A = this chain, B = another copy of it.
Amino acid sequence: MQRRTVRNRLALIATAVLMSACATANAPLTIQEQGSFAVGGTVVTTPGTFDPIKQGAYNPTPDPTGQTLHGDHAYVFYQVPVDARRLPLVFWHGHGQSGKTWETTPDGREGFQTIFLRRRFPVYVIDQPRRGRASRSTQPVTIAANPDEQMWFGVFRLGVWPNLYPNVAFSPDPAALDQFFRQSVPNAGPYDVEVNTNAVSALFNRIGPGILVTHSQSGTLGWRTAIKNRNIRAIVSYEPGGDFIFPEGEAPALPFGERTFTAHHPAVGLHAAHESPDRHLLRRQHPGAAEHESGTGAVACVSRGGEALAGRCERARRRRHARGAPLDRYPRQHAFSDVRPQ
């Protein structure tokens, strides 16, 4: 009861505060402080002794003997306005994106970064580990440079290529689509749930209490990070991808389109120390790209008992199409959720 009350109160705060329209666009921003830093991550060290003559500046070689690699951190750009509110907003991008998501929109309007600065929020904009300005990965990767943008046009639900959906909010200006495609960035290392949630948890250790704003792929990552770090006081999640996590017994048994599978399973990919004593329910919600993500496999359909539901997902999707379900009924997801376990 107490838990639910606290959660509801936090959700209310988050929603009310994000909806408040107390600032004027185009007035100057007054910034008390801004800058950037890396946070979290790990260090890999190759055994042996580094020789600054044989391997150093005068003889640069790829010999890693005795050398280190600092990687798997997040990059964070922050701005604190004058007369700032108490809780900052931490913005976490989705699949194939970077912190650019929250800056200028593809059609050139102010993004959430600046909009919420105007509303007196300190804002922290993340590039998650192995993405964008946090591309230094401890694991190697090959980036294929594969043309795939028409697929993403659909996955991000802009329309059915080459047409935008009727009444979609995305600008019909071709320059906007050009900018949207160009804000895409590849994974500079394997996608890894633990690496991502550890880095963002480290960010909340550094900055203290705040509100996490997630999008798509970072939907499930945000909830998993909230389980690790009580400084996450609320989550606002747009089009959350991956799996939803609820305290046991609190998952709504709602159908999702034609999919009614309700998964009951301890949260996968979480450290037992953080998971206990709660057990969590996962509910598959994002039928698009997320289940095709590389990585740990933690973001996947799971069922009671834990067996993979990937096959069932795939069959359900094919059935839907075989019956001629039009693509423009592809679900548009928005969720404002507070899931902080107390």
Contacts and interface: CB of A to CB of B under 8 A. Distances in A.
A45 interface: yes
A70 interface: yes
Interface in A127-173: 127, 132-151, 153-155, 157, 160-161
B327 A37 contact: no
Given A60-B288, A68-B181, A150-B67, A189 B36 contact: no
Contacts of A56: 150-151, 153-155, 160-161, 327
Contacts of A58: 154, 287, 317, 320-321, 327, 330
A296 interface: no
Contact of A77 (B103, B127, B292): B103
Chain copies in the assembly?
A: 2
A129 to B, nearest CB: 10
B140 A66 contact: no
Contacts of A184: 70, 136
A60 B155 contact: yes
A136 B185 contact: yes
Interface in A187-220: 188-189
A110 B33 CA distance: 9
A188 B136 contact: no
Q: Which of A31, A108, A138, A157 has the most CB of B within 10 A?
A: A31
A64 interface: yes
Interface string A17-40: 000000000001111101111100
Contact of A53 (B141, B183, B321): B321
A100 interface: yes
Given A38-B178, A41-B182, 16 more contacts: A28-B82, A29-B31, A29-B34, A57-B151, A59-B321, A64-B148, A67-B147, A67-B148, A100-B133, A132-B133, A133-B183, A135-B185, A136-B185, A139-B145, A142-B142, A185-B188
13 contacts: A35-B104, A36-B103, A36-B104, A50-B161, A52-B150, A56-B150, A56-B154, A56-B161, A57-B289, A132-B135, A136-B181, A140-B145, A143-B188
